[in-house]
Structure 1
Amino acid sequence: MDNNSGKGGSTHASWTSAMSSFMLKHLANLVAGGTRTSSGFKAVHLNACARAVNERFNSTLTGEQIKNHLKTWQRKFTKINRLRKVSAAGWDEKNFIITLDDEHYNGYIEDHKADDDYFNKPLAYYGEMLTIFRSTMATGKYAKDSSSVLGTEDVQTKNDEEENDGPATTDDRAEASSASKPKKARTQEIEDDGLIGAFTSVGDKLASAN
């Protein structure tokens, strides 16, 4: 079970796997039905989810507790996608499994025993997490607004901070900008040359046929 303190620490909820599953599926269905995730779930969505869970499991959850528990799964989702980048790791898209052969698995787990549950076995509720937090993978960035619920606007883990080399300086941005323009122009030149060559080849063949 997972205990979450409510607002002000006055209450807390005990979560079972079945309750977590129900919550994630409920919220994933909201997203699939068109609810936007870029601005997070509104209080009305969280409260509705709490009522649905309460009715199903005879519990007394609040929308704030749903929000807190969702953050727990958000952190798991962030960790899963970080572990997918472990050296030699593969990804079974159909079954949501991070794969490692015995040699790499044994070497990695020797130093990271807490990550054992994330390798070579189906990741529970990854499909629902992907639906809810998918924009996390697209941006790789997290805002620091503590009022937000979803991956693009909430938690930034220590590991993610370590992978970031720091904010770009003005010089960095200027250099990146100046470097990208010639590349784009060069790509366009290559594409134009290719089209011209293709048209010329077709013209030659037609001339030969005549």
Structure 2
Amino acid sequence: MHTTMLTVLAEEAPKGNKPSNTFKSDSFATVAKAISEQFGVECHSSYVENRMRTLRTMWTTIQTLQKKSGFGWDDSLKMITCDAKTYQEEVMVHRKHADFLNKKIEMYNELVIVVGKDMATSNFAKSYADIDTKLDNAESTKMVGDNGEEGVVDKRKNVVKSSTTGSTISKSRKRGRAPPSDDSVLTDLSDQLKEIVVALKEIN
């Protein structure tokens, strides 16, 4: 039942049925129906909701162990690792933690989607930490201008093309230096012409 529940809910999340840290009631009903059909028992949504509490407790334990000093993480095996001494010390204090140490955590990816605070995009989830890292290491292909309009960055010309007006906005790397306006350019040209006229009169 545990496996069926995680499998079904992991499929429900990408459909938009996990808008926050919990699922919609329809998803729990879907799980209850799948369990009833598979095991030939009468399963209700309330049972699924109660099991969710157990899954959240498991997830909290896993996260706690991952962050503790002396423990490692094997991402390929989905396993929390530690040496024999650390294992003994931990199990002496928390006997149930032995279920999560030096052994593969079954259906870990599904747990991440179902009870983790991650964004599920397909059958697996991308964590916020991963997303933040990617945004820091690569240029974003979209940006929002000062006027609130969304634009697309042209990396070759370093300009922003507005997706609504089609106009381009140059990206200035140095803030505080505004480009000269057309009026100031015309004023400079006028002053230069006056100087030339005065010089010509003096020569004549």
Place the TM-score, normalised by the shorter chain, in its bin. Answer: 0.5 to 0.7
| Partner of residue 43, structure 2 | 61
- Taking a change above 3 Å as real, the CA distance of residues 33 and 42 of structure 1, as seen in their structure-2 partners, is closer
Question: Which residue number corresponds to residue 111 of structure 1?
Answer: 93
Normalising by structure 1, what TM-score?
0.53
Q: TM-score, normalised by structure 2?
A: 0.54
Q: How many residues align?
A: 123
The alignment status of 1:129 with 2:111, answered yes or no, reads yes
Higher gyration radius (CA): 2
Q: Deviations over 1:41-60 (max 9, x none)?
A: 12222112111110111110
| Alpha-carbon displacement from aligned partner over 1:71-130 (angstroms, at most 9, x marks no partner) | 111111111111112211000112210000122222322332231111000112221110
Select the structure that is richer in helix: 1
Q: Which amino acid aligns with 2:85?
A: E
Tell me, yes or no, if the aligned pair for 1:77 and 1:126 is still in contact at 8 Å.
no
Contact 2:18 2:24 in 1 (8 A): no
* Partner secondary structure for residue 77 of structure 2: coil
Deviation by residue 1:150-176 (Cα, 9 ceiling, x = unmatched): xxxxxxxxxxxxxxxxxxxxxxxxxxx
RMSD of aligned C-alpha atoms? 2.3
Q: Distance in 1 between matches of 2:24 and 2:82?
A: 39
Gaps spanning 5+ residues in structure 2: where? 119-126, 130-172, 175-204
Pick 1 or 2: higher relative contact order, CA cutoff 8 A, min separation 6. Answer: 1
The residue that corresponds to 2:138 in the other structure is: none
Which structure 1 segments of 5+ residues have no match?
1-18, 140-190, 193-210
2:22 aligned with 1:40: yes
2:55 aligned partner? 73
Look up the SS of the partner of 2:102 in the other structure: coil
Whole-angstrom distance in 2 between the partners of 1:39 and 1:110: 33
- The residue type paired with residue 91 of structure 2 is I
Identify the residue that residue 92 of structure 1 maps to in structure 2.
74
Using the TM superposition, give the Cα deviation of residue 37 of structure 1 relative to its aligned residue in structure 2, in angstroms: 3.8
- Higher mean C-alpha displacement, 92-101 vs 127-136: 127-136
Match of 1:83 in 2: 65
Identity of aligned residues (%): 27
SS of residue matched to 1:123? coil
What stretches of structure 1 move > 3 A for 4+ residues in a row?
A: 136-139
